[in-house]
A and B are shown apart, each in its own frame.
Chain A
Amino acid sequence: MASITLKHIQKVYPGGVKVIEDLNLEIQDREFIVLVGPSGCGKSTTLRMIAGLEEVSGGELYIGDRLVNEVVPKERDIAMVFQNYALYPHMTVYKNMAFALKLRKTDKALIDQKVHEAARILDIEHLLNRKPRALSGGQRQRVALGRAMVRDPKVFLLDEPLSNLDAKLRTQMRTEITKLHKRLQTTFVYVTHDQTEAMTMGDRIVVMKEGVIQQVDTPQNLYDAPCNLFVAGFIGSPQMNFMDAQVRLRDGKYVVALGPYELPVSPEKQAALEGYDGKNVTLGIRPEDFHAEGALLADGDCIVEMQVDIAELMGADTYFHGVCAGTQLNVRAPSHIHAPAGSLLRLAVDCKKMHLFDQESQQAILN
């Protein structure tokens, strides 16, 4: 169990390619932190630096209170789960799991006990004598987790561990890893490019892009108050709708003009728009913040109309894709709402959940 501190971390590859320029991050003890971002954003590199598999080009990296910049992986007391499992193909599951303990000259009886305990938790006891090639993807992933578990490491590092699994298994393993974290009470650092995994698993999420941390926060806060356009677009599925809009002053109050519509801004958020009168901004509204029924629609304050192109029935919900004020929109509505292609759908916008972004800096103006 340990915290991890990254101070002004840099990573420059030979040839001068800067992957990470100045990364600062505090990971708390026993925290489940998820590094998320599109491929090439430096999340895996960051994880590999924590593991000691990549050299740190600059800055300071602490595990607990110990500066580990120059410490080799085996002395960092970390365990890592790899995307392709990286099980030793010539060893049985038992030997795979026992390997690290053997190297530590752990007592044989204790090794046996630990391996069996981990295998029991992961439900792979019956596979202990098999070789990895005789296992399915899900089973291999469990073995990889087991191999990490038996060592009681200070830190668990997981590098896209679920991306080689099929969708159903992924969902199942997701909950299992979360449970495992609760059970082990260890620091978990988890890398993924899948925002759903990030949202469902992390205590906190680190959103990265091009080697720069965009925002670090709890899943809820990231979802409710993304700090910029990138985070707003990356977190949430289906994606947030972005529309070109303009801030205007009407009777001493700011409104957001979207094509022919003027959407009011709630009184407590008025101050944030100071100085934006007449400026173009990007308006962000999540698909579920449009309402095709209920009190908001009855109020009649923030009504827009969308020409429906396609309705996709997902079961509990229906996704409507269409055009409103010249922009493509995705709207999520309960499945009992029907609107055939070509029809007009009246929607109330939940103005309290409107997001506005500066078009130049792409930073959030109000959330």
Chain B
Amino acid sequence: MSHMQMTTKERVLCVLKYLFLALCVFVALFPIIWVIMSSFKTNAEILSNGVALPKTPSLTGYRNALTISPILNYFGHSIIITTVSTVLNVLFLAMAAYVFARCRFRGRDVLYFILSLAMVIPMTALLHPVYSVIQALGLYDTKTGLILVYTALNLPMSLLILRGTFLSIPRALEEAAYVDGAGFVRTFFQIMLPCAKGGLTSAAVLAFLQSWNEFTFALVLTSGQDARTLPLSLSYFTAQFSFDYPAMFAAVTIAVIPSIIVFAVFQEQVVSSLTAGSVKE
């Protein structure tokens, strides 16, 4: 009897657990699926029945998206700005993180603390100072300006991940390289960087996603058509008098697909290296 009761109770718990998980997945995925689905509908369909499947899926939304806004242009800018800032971010922070992980110097911990502190400062608080600096440097409305800002914005996270990664690599590896005849720089590039591949990938992915989706700085630091990024193209659709929802959703779909691909490909490495390194040493 008691055995039966236990299994019934367990079964109920199990069902509840899966229901809860299903709810979580639904909450997380619904907006994305809804947007993608709606991008194949017509305006009238969306306004009459928001959640129904498209009657006759059409690509009109996508066609309109390309004509209403300079989305392809912005897509190109986004690719350049995001890629360059990600590469710079990972390259410089790998070097910094290595020094923080390995070298002993006065004020190291204080410096590390200050750099990590950037993580808790809200981005909007930085808006005005960054604007002034970029303006003063003459980089307003340039790709270089955004690249610089994005490289710096992702600093704390990358530093955290990469320092953890380097700490988890045994010191003997570098010592072996020194004894083998490598200097500091060669040891870093030829031995340590390849060993830190996991951390580098996850730092790069996170930096990429952050820069790709960034809206506020892109809006404030650009004005013309030369440096605006993909998230800004979305404003074209709400700013119009006619609400072209399918076109807007098509643009959103175009904007999120690269992020989804990048994350899907490297997901495992990102998750594992976010937890690794924090435990060792």
Chain A residues packing against B (C-beta within 8 Å): 14, 51-53, 72-74, 78-80, 82-84, 86-90, 99-100, 103-104, 147, 151
Tell whether B79 is near chain A: CB-to-CB under 8 Å. Answer: no
Distance, CA A89 to CA B175, complexed state (A) = 14
Contact between B194 and A100 (Cβ–Cβ < 8 Å)?
no
| Distance between Cα atoms of A74 and B180 in the complex (Å) | 6
Main secondary structure of the interface of B (DSSP, over half): helix
Whether the Cβ atoms of A103 and B173 lie closer than 8 Å is no
Q: Does B183 contact A (CB under 8 A)?
A: yes
Q: Which residue in chain A gives the minimum CB-CB distance to B169?
A: A89
In the complex, what distance in Å separates the CA atom of A52 from the CA atom of B179?
A: 8
Contact A73 B179 (CB under 8 A): yes
Also in contact, A100 and B181, with CB within 8 A (given A86-B170, A90-B195):
yes
Q: Is the CB of B194 within 8 A of A82?
A: no
In whole angstroms, how far apart are the Cα atoms of A84 and B195 in the complex?
Answer: 16
Which parts of B136-159 form the interface with A (CB within 8 Å)? Answer: none
Query: In the complex, A86→B194 CA distance in Å?
Result: 14
Partner of B176, one of A14, A72, A86, A90: A86
Q: Is B191 an interface residue (CB 8 A)?
A: yes
Give a binary string over B222-255; 1 marks a CB under 8 Å from any A CB, 0 the rest. Answer: 0000000000000000000000000000000000
Q: Does B3 contact A (CB under 8 A)?
A: no
B26 interface residue, CB < 8 Å from A? no
| CB neighbours of A87 from chain B (8 A) | 176
Q: Does B186 contact A (CB under 8 A)?
A: yes
8 Å CB contact of A74 from B104, B182, B191, B197: B182
- Knowing A86-B175, A88-B173, A89-B195, the reply to whether A14 touches B180 (Cβ < 8 A) is no
Chain A residues with CB under 8 A of B104: 14
Which B residues are CB-close (under 8 A) to A83? 172
Q: Please indicate the chain B residues that have their CB under 8 angstroms from the CB of A82 in the complex.
A: 172, 175-176
Interface size on B, residues (CB 8 A): 18
Could you say which of B170, B175, B181, B183 has the most chain A C-beta atoms within 10 Å of its C-beta? B181
Partner of A51, one of B179, B186, B191, B194: B179
The yes or no answer to B215 lying at the interface (CB within 8 A) is no
Closest residue of B by beta carbon distance from A51? B179
Interface readout for B163-193 with A: 1 if CB under 8 Å, 0 if not?
0000000101101111111110010000100
CA distance A38 to B178 in the complex (A): 27
Residues of A with C-beta under 8 A to B183: 72, 74
Considering the chains assembled together, what is the distance between the CA atoms of A53 and B173 in angstroms? 12
Name A74's closest neighbour in chain B (CB-CB): B181
Assuming the contacts A74-B182, A100-B181, asked whether A80 and B176 have C-beta atoms less than 8 A apart, the reply is yes
Q: How far is the CA of A261 from the CA of B194 in the complex (A)?
A: 69
Partner of A53, one of B175, B186, B195: B175
Q: Which of B178, B180, B194 touches A90 (beta carbons < 8 Å)?
A: B194
* Cα A84 to Cα B172 with chains together (Å): 8
Would you list 10 pairs from A and B whose C-beta atoms are within 8 A, ordered by A residue? A52-B179, A72-B178, A72-B183, A74-B178, A74-B181, A74-B182, A86-B173, A90-B195, A100-B180, A104-B181
Q: Provide the residues of chain A in CB contact with B197, threshold 8 Å.
A: 90
Chain A residues, Cβ within 8 Å of B182: 74, 99, 103
Q: Is A53 in contact with B194, judged by CB distance below 8 angstroms?
A: no
Please indicate the chain A residues that have their CB under 8 angstroms from the CB of B170 in the complex.
84, 86
Q: Given the interface contacts A14-B104, A84-B170, A86-B170, does A74 sit within 8 Å of B179 by beta carbon?
A: yes
Looking at B104, B179, B180, B194, which has the most chain A CB atoms within 10 Å of its CB?
A: B179
Q: Is the beta-carbon distance between A103 and B195 smaller than 8 angstroms?
A: no
By beta carbon, the residue of chain A nearest B104 is A14
Residues of B within 8 Å of A52, CB to CB, are 178-179
Task: Establish whether residues B173 and A80, one from each chain, have CB atoms under 8 Å apart when the complex forms.
Answer: no
